[in-house]
Amino acid sequence: MSSRRSRSRQSDVSRITDHQITDLISKLQQLIPELRGRRSDEVSASKVLQETCNYIRSLHREVDDLSDRLSQLLASTDTDSAQAAIIRSLLM
Amino acid sequence: MASLIPNLEPNPDTSPEFQRKKRRKTEKRPGSFDRNQGNQRIKRWQTEREQQIYSTKLIEALRRSRRNSSSAAGKEVRGTADRVLAISAKGTTRWSRAILTSGLSAGAKMRKHKKANINANRRLRKPKINKEKRKLPVFKRKLMVLGRLVPGCRKLSFSNLLEETSDYIAALEMQVRAMTAITEYLAGSSGGELQPPADRLGSNVNS
């Protein structure tokens, strides 16, 4: 891993230490629901990256689906009064 | 607890926004690495208050866009949702700034132009770097895939990319939570039994 320092696509001046790398990877691991419970020495960094990509893609898909549903629902309801009611209810 | 009270008026002394404004000067440095600020930002995405603010802004933005163009295609809703999300980030992260500027044609054209070049170089570059064969092709490739998934982060250093990714994931999760709540509410009330009490907001209905 020490060779990464010279080879990474750095455009900034900061030197990245191995400790920082593992720190960041384990911090990222805690955000991914699939890998959250596992110990950081059990999961390889490559797997963390892979699962991160998968998770982001699935989140994107969810947002797309929700957007589609939302557009259909908005088209079919009386938007202004519904929106006013939504705002009120969400804030209560 | 503050999160249960729907107080949207920012309290300048105690709200985290005030502290963020003070810190913003240091955050603009590209190499800055302060994990504390990053953690605070991520925690903010997870609060109820942030979700409420986002929901409100999203609904207002959707209403505005529906008034301007009568079609609210899923794609438009998605674009609106992403833009409001980026605005909620208050310019502290690269991905949010990239979303807000992605509408400009200059950005889109540059990306297409660069794409051709990168693919040409990759083949030439690969055989040169032989030392860590197991790491570079696999690990670096995944890193680049991640960089493409997070808006505006194709050329970030390793640590900055991971910072952006953490924040982006937290923001996306909040976006999903908020949109799910709105969708469920709308779906549940589309039966027509919803009667908004007549008040000042009701006067907007017929405009």
Q: Answer whether residue A12 is part of any domain.
A: no
Number of domains in chain A: 1
For B10, half-sphere exposure in the C-beta direction (CA atoms, 13 angstrom radius) is 11
**Residue A66 pLDDT:** 92
**Residue B75 pLDDT:** 86
**Residue B201 pLDDT:** 45
> Which carries the bigger pLDDT value, residue B101 or residue A79?
B101
The four Cα atoms B162, B163, B166, B168 give a dihedral, to 10 degrees, of -100
Per-residue pLDDT of chain B (207 residues; tens, 9 = 90+): 544 444 455 444 455 555 555 555 544 444 445 667 778 888 888 898 999 999 999 988 888 887 777 666 888 889 999 999 999 988 889 999 998 888 775 555 555 665 555 556 556 655 555 555 555 688 888 889 999 999 888 888 888 888 899 999 999 999 999 999 988 888 876 554 444 444 444 444 554
List the structure tokens of B185: 């509410």
**Residue B172 pLDDT:** 94
Does B118 contact chain A (CB < 8 Å)?
no
Measure the N-to-C terminal CA separation of chain B; round to a whole number of Å.
39
For A58, half-sphere exposure in the C-beta direction (CA atoms, 13 angstrom radius) is 10
Task: State the DSSP H helix or E strand holding residue B87, giving kind and residue range, or none if neither.
Answer: helix B74-88
**Cα B47 to Cα B56: distance, rounded to the nearest angstrom:** 15
Cβ proximity of A91 and B54 under 8 Å:
no
**Residue A55 pLDDT:** 95
Q: Answer whether residue A8 is part of any domain.
A: no
Q: CB B157 to CB A3 under 8 A?
A: no
DSSP state of B83: H
Cβ proximity of B155 and B25 under 8 Å:
no
Q: CB A86 to CB B185 under 8 A?
A: yes
Task: Write the CB contacts of B118 (distance below 8 Å, at least 6 apart in sequence).
Answer: none
Q: Answer whether residue A36 is part of any domain.
A: yes
Cβ proximity of B94 and B164 under 8 Å:
yes
List the structure tokens of B203: 């006067």
Q: Count the neighbouring beta carbons within 10 Å of the beta carbon of residue B127.
A: 7
Q: CB B74 to CB A64 under 8 A?
A: yes
Closest Cα of chain B to A42: distance in Å?
17
Chains A–B, number of C-beta pairs less than 8 Å apart = 178
**Residue B21 pLDDT:** 55
Q: CB A45 to CB B66 under 8 A?
A: no
* Residues of chain A with C-beta less than 8 angstroms from the C-beta of B205: 78, 80-81
Q: Complex ipTM above 0.85? A: no
Which amino acid does the sequence have at B155? Answer: K
**Residue B121 pLDDT:** 59
**Residues of the domain holding A62:** 18-91
**Residue B192 pLDDT:** 47
Cβ proximity of B76 and B131 under 8 Å:
no
**Residue B39 pLDDT:** 82
Question: pLDDT of A8-64, one tens digit each?
Answer: 555 555 577 888 888 888 888 888 988 888 887 888 888 899 999 999 999 999 999
Q: Answer whether residue A3 is part of any domain.
A: no
**Cα B1 to Cα B10: distance, rounded to the nearest angstrom:** 16
**Residue A58 pLDDT:** 95
Cβ proximity of A56 and B149 under 8 Å:
yes
Q: Answer whether residue A66 is part of any domain.
A: yes
List the structure tokens of B62: 């959707």
Q: Answer whether residue A4 is part of any domain.
A: no
**A16, A46, A80 member nearest B138 (Cβ):** A46
Q: Answer whether residue A43 is part of any domain.
A: yes
Q: Answer whether residue A51 is part of any domain.
A: yes
**Cα A77 to Cα B71: distance, rounded to the nearest angstrom:** 14
Q: CB B190 to CB A77 under 8 A?
A: yes
CATH of the domain at A26: 4.10.280
